[in-house]
Amino acid sequence: MRRVFAGAAVAAVVRLGFCLGGAWAARGDNRPAPKGPDEDGTKAALVKIAGEGMMESHAFQYLTELSDDIGARVTGTPAERKAEEWGVAKMKAIGLENVHTEKYQLWRGWTRGTAQGELLEPIRRPLHVDAMGWTGSTPAGGAEGEVVTANLFDIEEEVKHASRLSGKVVLVVMQGEPKKSGDVLFAIFGDFLKAAGKAGAVAVIGGQGGAKASGMNLTHTGILGFDADFAIPVLSMTAEDQGQLERYVESGKKVRVRLNVQNTFSNAPVEAANVVGEIRGRENPEQVLVVGAHLDSWDLSEGATDNGTGSASVLGSAEAIARSGLRPRRTIRFVLFTGEEQGLDGSFAYMKQHQAEMGNHLGDVVLDNGQGPVKEFQLGGRDDLVVSFRPFAQSLSSIREIPVNARVESGTDTLPFSMAGLPGINMDQDSPDYKYTHHSAADALEAVKPEVLAQNATLMALTAYWIADRPERFATPWSAEKTAKMLRAQQQYEMLKAFGLWKFGDLGAEGKGRNDPPQN
């Protein structure tokens, strides 16, 4: 569900990273230099796996099957169920062990119907709109209203004055400077949608977190919170159409539109499942590294870049390791998560179902940022692991230079692992076109290059095998207190709190509790 904001100001806020202080300085002691593949005995295996991954790759074939034979796969729908069955069949064909599904309940199901828009005043023409996920319908036959704007950057004030929106079509705009970070605005935007619905607004025009579309006449659907649904119709409108409406409103022209939006909610929770398969460890099979991506997608196209590429990389990485005939010291568990797009439901369900063995987990490795090549290893908050991971990353330099940092990625299935004090490792990608394909009608196989996919799958296989096979255990979970402190330091507190996901109370807050001794 990775939030992509088109507004430049918001984007700057969202991308505000943090300074990775002290990762090197902390090693100013007598500890031996960390060992990479050249010194720790894993090199020969990695060379074999790299060969399998690059020369015998079927990742693009898997992506083609997923895109063309299954297509869109919204969590809890028959198509998504079919994708689960496909994932099971692929994992079995690759030769993974213990292949099975792990069921969980999604709070509510949703099916897209139709969405039509028409500009009535000051000129008449059709408008390009699509419904946001898990949002409601206009009355049958549609409804008309005058367009009024609401400023996302002043959204708390807008919530207070929501009564002015009665009978109106609300166009979300971005004016001035945001007072909150993009993720927090995203959370408050949900409050605004509730207030607008209560006030009797006809519909709200605004994308994920209120963001505007990226252009090229594309709409971008998506969820509007973690497990959040809204009775009011919420629409993504193309940037070109929205720009015109904004110009009309700004110049004082009266703008009227007609919208007809029909979607269906289920009355009860729906069932979904993660797809799981393993390569069992030869020495410590009880210790588990999860390698994952989300199998579910949105439904304006076939979900090739979100996250067909990640799913195909997981299968491609599993295949490269399986074909090498090598067995790592510890277990690699390949998981195709579902429910990611509704609020990381599959990965949160995984944490719950595997709670008893969390102490034996080493973290997870996820790829979910579109179609581009891997550009960064983000170790999900674990700054203590950067130093030991770096020699491995350097061993990949003849494939790609990939920097390492400890950043937390909260927009995909890495977050539940980071919240459990484990490295939720995000293989971030250089995907400049993702802003167009993200949750749009352009999210199709045409956007993906086979050679990039094969390389990403291979890098995933190498990362997984190195972590699982190196002699020293890569990571053990941090305490809740240390984890809470890290999440606060990485500016995750406000966002998690706003979405109701903060489970640490005042742990990690300034002046609260004690500092944990360093763990390694």
Stretch in the footprint of Zn ion (CB under 5 A) among 243-251, 305-313, 418-426, 441-449: 305-313
Handedness of CA 91, 92, 98, 103 (dihedral sign): positive
| Residue whose CB is less far from Zn ion, 37 or 339 | 339
Instruction: Please tell me whether residue 84 binds Zn ion under the rule CB under 5 A.
Output: no
Task: Give the largest Cα separation in the chain, rounded.
Answer: 75
State in angstroms the smallest separation of the CB of 298 from Zn ion.
Answer: 9
The tokens of 437 are what?
Answer: 């394909």
Decide whether 241 or 443 has the Cβ nearer to Zn ion: 443
**Closest to 298 measured CA to CA, from 236, 223, 231:** 223
| Min CB(369)–Zn ion separation in Å | 8
Alpha-carbon gap, residue 99 to 103, rounded angstroms: 13
Nearer to Zn ion, 257 or 457 (CB): 457
CB of 214 to Zn ion, least distance (A): 16
Nearer to Zn ion (CB atom), residue 97 or residue 227: 227
Q: Which of residues 439 and 488 has its CB atom nearest to Zn ion in the complex?
A: 439
- φ, ψ of residue 440 to 5 degrees: the values are -115, 180
Q: Name the minimum Å distance from CB 273 to Zn ion.
A: 18
CB of 109 to Zn ion, least distance (A): 19
Q: Which of 236, 287, 307, 324 binds Zn ion (CB under 5 A)?
A: 307
Q: How far, CA to CA in Å, does 482 sit from each of 149, 343, 373?
A: 43, 24, 33
Rg of the chain over Cα atoms, rounded to whole angstroms, equals 23
Residue number, 246 or 306, with CB nearest to Zn ion? 306
Task: Report d(CA 61, CA 67) in Å as an integer.
Answer: 10
CB 4, min distance to Zn ion, A: 10
Rule CB under 5 A: say whether 306 interacts with Zn ion: yes
Ramachandran category for residue 131: left, alpha or beta (phi over 0 → left; psi -120 to 50 → alpha): beta
Single out the segment in contact with Zn ion by CB under 5 A; choices: 72-80, 217-225, 298-306, 321-329.
298-306
CB nearer Zn ion, residue 174 or residue 460: 460
Pairwise CA distance, residues 443 & 220, whole Å? 10
Cβ–Cβ < 8 Å for 226, 500: yes
Stretch near Zn ion under the rule CB under 5 A, chosen from 26-34, 307-315, 346-354, 386-394? 307-315
* Nearest approach, Cβ of residue 340 and Zn ion (Å): 6
Is residue 443 involved in binding Zn ion (CB under 5 A)?
no
What stretches of 374-464 adopt beta strand conformation (E)? Answer: 374-378, 404-405, 424-429
CA–CA dist 439, 224 (Å, integer): 13
Pattern 365-384, binding to Zn ion, x per CB under 5 A? ---x----------------
Of 2 and 333, the one with the shorter C-beta distance to Zn ion is 2
User: In sequence order, what DSSP letters do the residues of 9-73 get, joined into one string?
Assistant: HHHHHHT------STTGGG-SSPPPPP-HHHHS-HHHHHHHHHHHHHS--HHHHHHHIIIII---
Question: Could you tell me if 448 and 63 are in contact, meaning their C-beta atoms sit under 8 angstroms apart?
Answer: yes
Let me know: does 449 contact 309? Beta carbons within 8 Å.
no
* Residue 293 beta carbon to Zn ion: minimum distance, rounded to whole angstroms: 8
Residue 319 tokens read as 């295949």
Smallest distance, Å, CB 208 to Zn ion? 12
Binding map of Zn ion across residues 339-368, x = CB under 5 A, - = no contact: -----------------------------x
Cβ closest to Zn ion, residue 255 vs residue 415: 415
Residue type, 128: H
Nearer to Zn ion, 307 or 324 (CB): 307
Judged by CB under 5 A, the chain residues 466 through 495 that form the site for Zn ion are none
Structure-block tokens of residue 340:
């990611």
CB 381 within 8 A of CB 487: yes
Minimum distance between the CB of residue 197 and Zn ion, rounded to whole angstroms?
Answer: 27
Side-chain half-sphere exposure of 179, counting CA atoms within 13 A: 8
For the record, the structure tokens of 405 come out as: 């940092």
Q: In this chain, which stretch among 178-186, 221-229, 304-312, 345-353 interacts with Zn ion, using CB under 5 A?
A: 304-312
Q: Between residues 262 and 311, which has the closer beta carbon with respect to Zn ion?
A: 311
- Residue length of the chain: 520
Please report how close the Cβ of residue 222 comes to Zn ion at its closest, in angstroms: 10
Interface with Zn ion: number of residues (CB under 5 A): 3
Question: Smallest Cα–Cα separation from 224: which of 258, 246, 244, 197?
Answer: 197
Q: Which stretches of the chain bind Zn ion, using CB under 5 A? A: 306-307, 368
